[in-house]
Structure 1
Amino acid sequence: MKKHLKNNILIFLFLFIFACSSPTINDTSEDLPNIGDVPKSFTEATDDFAFNLLKTTNASEPAEDNIFISPLSVHIALGMLLNGADGTTAQEINKVLGLGGMDIEQANRFYASLLTNLPKADAKVNLNIANSIWYRNTFPVESSFISTLQNAFLAEATPLNFDDPTVKNVINNWVNAKTQNRIPKIIEQINPDDVMFLINAVYFKGDWKYQFSTEATQEWLFNLSNTSTKKVQMMNMQAELAYNQRSNYTAVVLPYSKGNFNLTLILPSADQSLTSFINSFTEAEWKNLQNSLTSTRKVNVGLPKFTLEYDIALNNVLQSMGIKEAFSNQANLTKISKQGRLYVNSVKHKTFLQIDEKGTEAAGVTSIGVGVTSVNPNTPPTIIFDRPFLMILSEKQSNTILFMGKITNP
């Protein structure tokens, strides 16, 4: 694109971190709270978006690579952008988010409810969702855009001198603080044409309801996608868990604290690749699975202990999903500024994940299945996550998916 078409550029970023640690929590007597007035249609739309985002991201990455994303964070960040869009640009974003005939005021009300009520879902879980707007102090931003994001998204709005080379540190310091020092930097540099950053950060820290014993952790071989193996530290435990075996996968649920947040681990059958499984796993199947995980039984679980960081530019992913005009010089972002000539220049996505005996820093979904038909029905099934698996962290009452991951090389 020629220089004169790049006068003003919207830089759009989001990041997220999930962390869990500390001792076992046994108190589950408190009732699970109501998440608010978020309708089923809205949470189903966010879940459908989550699976579309995972599939499209997976298609853009090498099959042997790990993937870790927060669909909730991406949805919220795009929701902020939607408030600045109009015309075809807004229609494309609305469609990809699955908002259908919902008007922007309704959507904003539901975003506000999620932002207010999700962090209250479990007093023993630390969930923080933060939004911010950073813009060039000489750039004319519509006051209605700022006020809407402050009210509906609880966003902090800060004008800055983008010509000052140290200003990026102000933004990075905010990011670092909101992610508890796990993501210290998101902005490498601010270019002369950059006029705005929209940033969403999600931080989650929760305790395993059933903790893995460090004494039970042992060296184990993990089967990689390319048929080779690597040594991992495999954590092991036996607990009363929700468990379900299907024809092509097995799922087990590891709850946090009171059980309002859960990590669902899904292991495809040995004759199916994780990529092909992800392509066939839909929001409808996820809903069906959730409905079937209503009872518990004793289950032996083996889960690798690992740490990973994930970083991806999502421009191409979002364009493949259908958000095209926002990335072009035809973008209509006039609700951000009547001056116009804005477009989405960059979408950055950064995550951190660590899983150990105490809990998880970051997030993932793991699933290993053992056929119950070959053992005594009274014998606890054993699920060892020693090959590529899917992981989904969700909130139980609203069925909102916070994080998803494809783990191929822990």
Structure 2
Amino acid sequence: MIKEKRKERVYAQIKIGKVGVALLVRKMAIDALRLANTAFAVDMFKKLCEKDKTANIVFAPLCTSTSLALAYKATKGDTATQMAKALHLEDVKDVLFGFQTVTSDISRLSSFFSLKMVKRLYVEKSLNPTTEFINATKRPFPSELELVDFKEKTEETRQQINKSVSELTDGKMENILNEGSINDQTKILLVNTAYFVTNWMKKFPEAQIKECPFKINKTETKPVQMMNLEATFCLGYVKELKTAILELPCLNKHMSMLILLPKEIEDDTTGLEQLERALTPETLVQWTNPSVMANTKVNVFLPKFKVEGDYDLKPVLESLGMTNIFNENVADFSEMSETKGVVLSQIIHRVSLEVNEEGAELSEVPGYRILQHKDEFKADHPFIFLFRHNKTRNIILSGRFCSP
């Protein structure tokens, strides 16, 4: 009897050990994917900045990496190698599991926020994707893959996609595909859209919103509606770049806005070029690490603003080394289809972000006015921002604000 009980205990310990190892392996896979997605987000940001040094930018890196990860699982050979390198997936052991977990967690955000994200890979149905491919990608990418008829019903398909995207974004993203944007030769179309309106953990008081000058450069300003709030926030500082980093939590702390703000405009640019040069996946992780930021009483000035981005990402991805997927002579999508000459025909990426004062009422009593020994964070000149999902630490939206 005693021997049996000992055996049961040993088996139980072995079982617990196996579960622990499995959980550790899964955590390592998710951490590796987070680092990969962060690196890809920084790469995209820097490429978009290169195109225009002074433009406002907003994009949804997680939408793109998710859709491209699905396309990556359809590829083989050099095409797959290029995609893995550009997406930084070489060290991610289980790409499908990682994206399945992240997609599941982030899909829950829509119940708390005005956040709508569309990540779709529209595939011409005559390519006859294999049953094995469809089944293998169904769980990690439950709504990302859709078979359509570009070949025989081009216009009808265009209208169908427009209607679908409009419905998925509550009518915020209309006519994602212009007339003539697809044709009967379209093979694979990638569509990313994201729409987000902020909802803060702490509401910015309406009475504190005032028109203020926003410095575009050393000599020019534009008027902006400036919000103001005094409260305790997480604040960091990059001494060598004279840049403050503020974390503004959104409702229930599911997401945070991280703002990278140089102290002043010290050159003849927007004041961001030095910071953009120094920004790498490694420095971003280092600068925003909770261990180097501290809870501080801060007097925050942040403009109300709305920015929109509409990009053809093909040249961006090509400049990151992802060239094969666009070239029918070398593209290899044989993991999905036996048809030759399959390429990613087009990538549509449209994002809208609205930053306003809305949020939960302040719980501090008697109010925001009496906080002492506070730092000031005054975003009255260009800054870089990102919205991070705090559970998975993936970047959902990123960009820069240079001009009202």
- TM tier, smaller: 0.7 to 0.9
**CA positional deviation for 1:320:** 1.1
Would the alpha carbon gap of residues 146 and 339 (structure 1) be closer, same or farther in structure 2, given more than 3 Å must change?
Answer: same
**CA positional deviation for 1:155:** 2.2
Could you tell me which residue of structure 1 aligns to residue 389 of structure 2?
Answer: 395
Q: Does 1:151 align with 2:175?
A: no
Deviation digits for residues 251-279 of structure 1 (CA, Å, limit 9, x no counterpart):
11110122231101110132262122112
Would the alpha carbon gap of residues 62 and 91 (structure 1) be closer, same or farther in structure 2, given more than 3 Å must change?
Answer: same
- In the TM superposition, 1:361-400 aligns within 5 A as 379-400=373-394
Could you tell me which residue of structure 2 aligns to residue 79 of structure 1?
Answer: 69
Amino acid at match of 2:322: I
| C-alpha distance in structure 2 between counterparts of 1:173 and 1:116, whole Å | 25
SS in 1 for 2:70: helix
Q: Is the 8 A contact 1:133 1:155 kept in 2?
A: no
Q: Is the 8 A contact 2:197 2:356 kept in 1?
A: no
**CA positional deviation for 1:144:** 2.5
Computing the radius of gyration from Cα coordinates, the structure with the larger value is: 2
Amino acid at match of 2:383: F
Amino acid at match of 1:56: K
**CA positional deviation for 1:204:** 5.0
Amino acid at match of 2:148: L
- In the TM superposition, 1:99-248 aligns within 5 A as 99-102=89-92, 106-120=94-108, 124-125=112-113, 129-155=117-143, 157-162=145-150, 163-164=152-153, 165-188=155-178, 189=180, 190-202=182-194, 204=196, 207-225=199-217, 227-247=219-239, 248=242
Q: Is the 8 A contact 2:56 2:402 kept in 1?
A: yes
Q: Does 1:97 align with 2:87?
A: yes
**CA positional deviation for 1:154:** 0.7
Could you tell me which residue of structure 1 aligns to residue 345 of structure 2?
Answer: 345
**CA positional deviation for 1:128:** 5.6
SS in 2 for 1:173: helix
Q: Is the 8 A contact 1:76 1:200 kept in 2?
A: no
**CA positional deviation for 1:180:** 2.2
Amino acid at match of 1:337: S
Would the alpha carbon gap of residues 43 and 154 (structure 1) be closer, same or farther in structure 2, given more than 3 Å must change?
Answer: same
Amino acid at match of 2:280: T
Normalising by structure 2, we get a TM-score of 0.81
Could you tell me which residue of structure 2 aligns to residue 320 of structure 1?
Answer: 319
Could you tell me which residue of structure 2 aligns to residue 68 of structure 1?
Answer: 58
| C-alpha distance in structure 2 between counterparts of 1:146 and 1:284, whole Å | 35
SS in 2 for 1:115: helix
| C-alpha distance in structure 1 between counterparts of 2:375 and 2:284, whole Å | 22
Alignment RMSD: 2.5
Q: Is the 8 A contact 2:57 2:308 kept in 1?
A: no
Unaligned runs of 5+ in 1: 1-35, 360-376
Amino acid at match of 1:219: E
Could you tell me which residue of structure 1 aligns to residue 46 of structure 2?
Answer: 55
SS in 2 for 1:258: helix
**CA positional deviation for 1:97:** 1.1
Please, which of 253, 272, 275 is the counterpart of residue 274 of structure 1? 272
Amino acid at match of 1:152: P
Q: Does 1:335 align with 2:323?
A: no
| C-alpha distance in structure 1 between counterparts of 2:96 and 2:229, whole Å | 42
Deviation digits for residues 194-221 of structure 1 (CA, Å, limit 9, x no counterpart):
1333444555566211111121111111
Which deviates more from structure 2 when the two are superposed, residues 143-152 or residues 194-203?
194-203
**CA positional deviation for 1:227:** 3.5
Would the alpha carbon gap of residues 102 and 267 (structure 1) be closer, same or farther in structure 2, given more than 3 Å must change?
Answer: closer
Q: Is the 8 A contact 2:118 2:165 kept in 1?
A: no
| C-alpha distance in structure 1 between counterparts of 2:388 and 2:324, whole Å | 31
Q: Does 1:409 align with 2:392?
A: no
**CA positional deviation for 1:317:** 1.1
Structure (1/2) with the larger helix percentage: 2
Aligned length: 356
| C-alpha distance in structure 1 between counterparts of 2:146 and 2:32, whole Å | 34
SS in 1 for 2:188: strand
Amino acid at match of 2:306: T
Would the alpha carbon gap of residues 288 and 166 (structure 1) be closer, same or farther in structure 2, given more than 3 Å must change?
Answer: same
Q: Is the 8 A contact 1:122 1:260 kept in 2?
A: no
Could you tell me which residue of structure 1 aligns to residue 245 of structure 2?
Answer: 251
| C-alpha distance in structure 1 between counterparts of 2:103 and 2:56, whole Å | 28
Normalising by structure 1, we get a TM-score of 0.80
| C-alpha distance in structure 1 between counterparts of 2:61 and 2:375, whole Å | 31
SS in 1 for 2:304: strand
